[in-house]
Amino acid sequence: MSPALTGVLIAVVTVSDRSSRGERVDASGPILAEALRSLGAEVWATTVPDGADQVEHVIRAAVAEGARVVLTSGGTGIGPRDLTPEGTANVIARPLPGIAERLRAVDADAVPGAVLSRGLAGLTGGTHPAIVINVAGSTEAARSAAAVLADVLPHALSQLDGEDH
């Protein structure tokens, strides 16, 4: 049996001022990227500074390059520079609130602060929509999101392609 996401182009975008300046090693993005690669996905990874404009720009660029899924890691909290959801909202045409809710819920018992994540999930518009999902920036959130998304993404992409439920 082939991996569930064979050949699917997925962009993993770490959103972090410090990581984008080289002041801190990105730990969460590589966890997501490796988990997706193990499922057969082709992964394009990058790091951008915090801010709504940067997030919107990188999501639009990834989708224009053919990404079927864009995962962001970081910038979902309540700090002044945590504006990943705002940038994401500018590209989402159809929300997928159940994904964001599940990502928060899966971590909330172990990490009470997980409920502060404002991450979004949804579909871009256009004739070839992509799935965009915000993941909190911790390594724990990346690991749990990878487990949840391994089950969800193949089915979501199948539905997005018009296949039966």
CA atoms within 13 A on the CB side of 146: 22
Has residue 4 been placed in a domain? no
Domain membership flag for residue 2: no
The answer to whether 78 and 116 are in contact (CB under 8 A) is yes
Q: Where would I find the H helices in 21-138? A: 28-38, 52-64, 84-89, 97-108
Query: In this structure, is residue 165 part of a structural domain?
Result: no
| CATH code, domain carrying 115 | 3.40.980.10
Domain count, the chain: 1
- In tens, the pLDDT along 21-79 reads 999 999 999 999 999 999 999 999 999 999 999 999 999 999 999 999 999 999 999 99
Q: How far is CA 73 from the centre of its chain?
A: 6
Amino acid at 109: D
Residue (of 70, 75, 86) closest to 32 by Cα position: 70
* Phi, psi (degrees; rounded to nearest 5) at 43: -115, 130
Residue 125 domain-assigned (yes or no): yes
pLDDT (mean) for 80-93: 98
Decide if 41 is inside a domain. yes
- Joined together, the tokens standing for residue 125 give 């518009």
* 2 pLDDT more than 70: no
